[in-house]
Amino acid sequence: MSEHLLYYGNDRINSIVNDSQGTFSYQNEKIEYDGNLVPFYRYHDAGKTAVLNYNDLIIKSSIKYGVDSDFVRAIVYIGRAEGCSPV
């Protein structure tokens, strides 16, 4: 079975929301922007917004699977904050 790597913040969030398997990858990430490859940077506002937008689902899923909701929030935060570019 091949490993399913999740390079982008939205893919990581969808994996969590849809309860699908995958491996989060952050090392040396780059995205294409305006024909160029640019590095990802941590962007606090994107992580914060994702947590706020998904909070109801985070709570429901945490209860359903018996996982601490703050732990899930941390995963969503870093998945989104690390998946953004400043450009």
Q: What is the pLDDT of residues 31-84, one digit of tens each?
A: 665 676 666 666 667 788 889 999 999 999 999 999 999 999 998 888 777 665
Contacts of 27 (CB under 8 A, 6+ apart): none
Tell me, what amino acid is at 30? K
**pTM reported for the whole predicted model:** 0.53
Confidence band (pLDDT; 50, 70, 90) for 87? very low
Winning range, highest mean pLDDT, from 13-17, 25-29, 48-52, 65-69: 65-69
| Domain ranges (residues) in the chain | 5-81
Confidence band (pLDDT; 50, 70, 90) for 27? low
> How many angstroms separate the CA atoms of 31 and 38, rounded?
5
* End-to-end Cα distance, the chain: 36
